[in-house]
Structure formats: C-alpha cells, structure tokens
Copies of this chain bind each other. A is one copy, B any other.
Amino acid sequence: MNPAETAPPSERTRIRRVTENARYERATLHAIIDAAYLCHIAFADAKGTHCIPMACWREGEHLYIHGSNGGRLVRQLLGDTQACITITHLDGLVLARSAFNHSMNYRSCMIYGRFEALTDDAEKRASLARFMDKIAIGRQAEIRPGNDKEFTATTVLRIPLDEAACKVRQGPPIDDAEDMGVQAWVGVLPFTQQRLEPIAAPDCSAPAPGYVRDWLAAA
C-alpha cells in the first residue's frame, strides 16, 4: 500500500476516537462514495451552520453534486466556503455483554475542502450524463436531455478527495474480559439498503428496460 494511504492527509482528518477503525486508503473511500446516492454537506453562512442532504456521485478523485443556480447552497458553496461532506452507511447494531460496549457497524467517510463549479459546458454535460449513468446505465439515451434553459439553471460542483478520511466498524462486539460470564445474547443485528420492486408511474406506457427488470437482481 502507498504510504500516503496509511496516514491522515491533515490534522482534522486524523481519526482520534477508536483509531483502529480509521481507514485512509483510496479504495475504501471510493467504495463508500460509490455505494451512496446521498451525502450530507455541512457549511456555515451568516445564518449559522447548516447540514444539507444532497445527491452525489464520484468521478476519479472528486465528489460531485448539482444544484440550482439560484439556490442558497450553490451560491454559498461557490463563495470560497469550507465544506465538510459526510457519507454514512449503517450496517448493523452491535450487541455486547455490557451497555458500554454496544456499538454500530458502519462505513463512513468525511471530506473537507472547497467546491468549485464546472465552467466548461461540455465537461458539465458529460458529468451530468455520468450522474444519470449512476442511476441507470442506458437511461441517458432514452429520455429527453436537458434543454438550454434547464442546463443553464443547473450548476455542477465538485470537491477534490484530497482531504478525506474513512471510519469503518465491522464484525462482532468486543467485550471486556471480566464480562464474559454475562449470559446475554451477543452479536450483530444487521441492516442493508435493500432494493424493492420497481413501481411504474400510473401514466407509464413504455416497457420496462433491462435496468428496471433487473433492479432487484442487480442489488
């Protein structure tokens, strides 16, 4: 492993609580982002500190979001505002022999930095197409693409993955030696983000394409 992947990239991304769960490898970071449709973005403005859920996707070493030009979020994030983006996947409740050793299994990442807008139109169109690919490969060719008004009203923003860290907990509980005689069930109650049967809109008149027919199987 690259030595750069075993240490935090900055002081504020150094995991200080339960350090054995810290992960600094790119592959872990990429997998956590790619498994997510949503991130939470923290930023501050004159009205306070905010935490906003946003759709996200990844291309290489950047995380992307899109938003309305007129919105507060886009204006503020492009005003050289430091942001912190966090993604958390909850994988299970961890039941231990003592109250204190209960925990959760999860995969999370935090990214610090500043967003920039994509100013090149071709690059912006290509990036929005990649976002559509994340939803369903092939769909971009089936729908009406964005017209000039919609395209102009949308800003695509990206933030580099330079200052990022992950935290991952997996596996059974870790009990204290003196608690091993406690007769309680111990283990994990797991969760997963499950896909459910697609729901066609009442006015849908087109047949289901492969990515809809295979939605459950592809999970």
Contacts and interface: CB of A to CB of B under 8 A. Distances in A.
Interface residues of A, number: 91
Given A96-B143, A102-B132, A187-B199, A51 B84 contact: yes
A20 interface: no
A37 B142 contact: no
A68 interface: yes
Interface string A161-203: 0000000000011000001101111111111111111111111
A99 B128 contact: yes
Contacts of A117: none
Interface of A: 11-12, 16-17, 37-38, 40-44, 47-53, 55, 68, 71-72, 82-86, 88, 90, 92-93, 95-100, 102, 104, 106, 108, 110, 112, 128, 132, 135-136, 139-140, 142-147, 150, 154, 172-173, 179-180, 182-209, 212, 215
28 contacts: A16-B71, A16-B72, A37-B93, A38-B88, A38-B90, A40-B40, A42-B50, A49-B83, A92-B199, A95-B136, A98-B144, A98-B146, A99-B144, A142-B184, A142-B185, A143-B184, A144-B179, A172-B203, A183-B205, A185-B206, A185-B209, A186-B200, A186-B206, A187-B201, A191-B196, A192-B194, A192-B196, A193-B193
